[in-house]
Amino acid sequence: MRVSPIRELLAARGAVFSERAGVEIPLRFSGADKEYSAVRDAAGLCDFSFMTRYRVPEDGLDVLEQYACGSVANIRFGRVLHTMAVNDDGMLESDVYIANDDENLIMLCESLVDDAAAAAVLDGMGASKEGLEDLSGSTAVFGLDGLNAWAIARDLFGTDVLGLPYLSIENYELDGVEIKLIRGGKTSEFGYLFIVPVKHATAIWERIEKAGEPHGLVLVGTEAHSMLRLDGRFFNIYEEGARVSDPLPLGLQWMIDFDGDDFRGKAAILERRASGLKNKIIGLTPSDPGGVLEIGDEIAHRGETVAKVVAAVYSPTLKKRIGLALFDLPYAYSGLTLEGNDGLLIETISMPPFMPKSLSVKLDEM
């Protein structure tokens, strides 16, 4: 099982570990509710080294065009494409960032398959011949998210970092170490990904911790990130993605370039698209703030099942349970009151159900 290059440090900080697709992940540190609230109100630092990551030279562009569903050829210098990769049946395999970093493309993947399976797919597309380099053992990836994340990034790299647009990449030097910084994030608050050489990973992590102290930084695990993604309505491949698998009812068409070159699984997606959408993901919550909502719950209308819950968490912001369900299309819209388990009333809602605090911060005025 692949582990983080800073595992010993994480363990010393109290990390509780779990596993995804053959890779160890930091599940939590001080408790998911506390970590969630730190991101919404201040900042959180998470080890994202479980992501697979590759460097692909420009000559390997065709490989990524076969692998990813988005238009890789159209990524401008310094920008990042958020897309996905699917299997031969057009079902989700990876949630993908591809960054145009000068003469190379950097690909980061949150995958449902293990490293060996992903590498085999890429090798079958000619990746090795085109110079693809697996960076998973030579780098670490850290995620900095939250209302105050921008201030920590500024203190580390200077005010220039405030000009980074969403989904962009830039190279910075920190204490003599070159850092690739992506402005991204999937919590609906400010977010940055640090790609760090493995031999400097511990020192850079501790440097971020120190810079974050005046800004309320807390160490955050993947459990809290799942909560943040759901009520911030960012797609989570490990939750609704894994349970639904089909990108069409998940509403992920925006990640797909239907008019571009063929990619793996494209024909299968187009075939399902032509037959028409039958289900769709919609947000929902119990009418009673104390009500229960769990993955697998069935939702009914006049005694007939019309949906099944595929993701559910407690939202500290809303102070109640919130979830996503796969609805039959005639019922796939907000504003309905339906029946949950044991007669519990369930309301369908627009997502996200609140205004993230980061939207009130204007970086161009800082």
Of 199, 216, 209, 60, the residue nearest 137 (C-alpha): 199
Distance from chain centroid for Cα 233: 11
Q: Using one digit for the tens of pLDDT, what is the confidence trace for 202-245?
A: 999 999 999 999 999 999 999 999 999 999 999 999 999 999 99
Q: What is the token pair recorded at 2?
A: 């692949």
Contact (Cβ atoms closer than 8 angstroms) between residue 95 and residue 109: yes
Count other C-beta atoms under 10 Å from residue 59's C-beta. 12
What residues of the chain score a pLDDT lower than 50?
A: none
Q: Which CATH number fits domain 52-115+246-274: 3.40.50.150, 3.40.50.720, 3.30.70.1400, 3.40.50.300?
A: 3.30.70.1400
CATH superfamily name and code, 1-50+136-235: Probable tRNA modification gtpase trme; domain 1 (3.30.1360.120)
278-366: CATH superfamily: Aminomethyltransferase beta-barrel domains (2.40.30.110)
Indicate the domain borders of the chain. Answer: 1-50+136-235, 52-115+246-274, 278-366
> E strands of 133-176, at which residues?
133-134, 139-145, 168-174
State whether residue 232 is helix, strand or coil.
coil
pLDDT in tens, 146-186: 999 999 999 999 999 999 999 999 999 999 999 999 999 99
pTM of the predicted model, to two decimals?
Answer: 0.96
**What is the CB-side half-sphere exposure of residue 24 using CA atoms within 13 A?**
14
Q: Residue 365 has what pLDDT?
A: 65
Dihedral over Cα of 359, 360, 364, 366: its sign? negative
Distance CA 340, CA 293 (A): 8
**Distance separating alpha carbons of residues 271 and 248, to the nearest angstrom:** 11
pLDDT at 260: 85
Write down the pLDDT at residue 366: 67
Structure tokens at 32: 């998911």
> Tokens 């900095």 map to which residue?
144
347's enclosing H/E stretch is strand 345-349
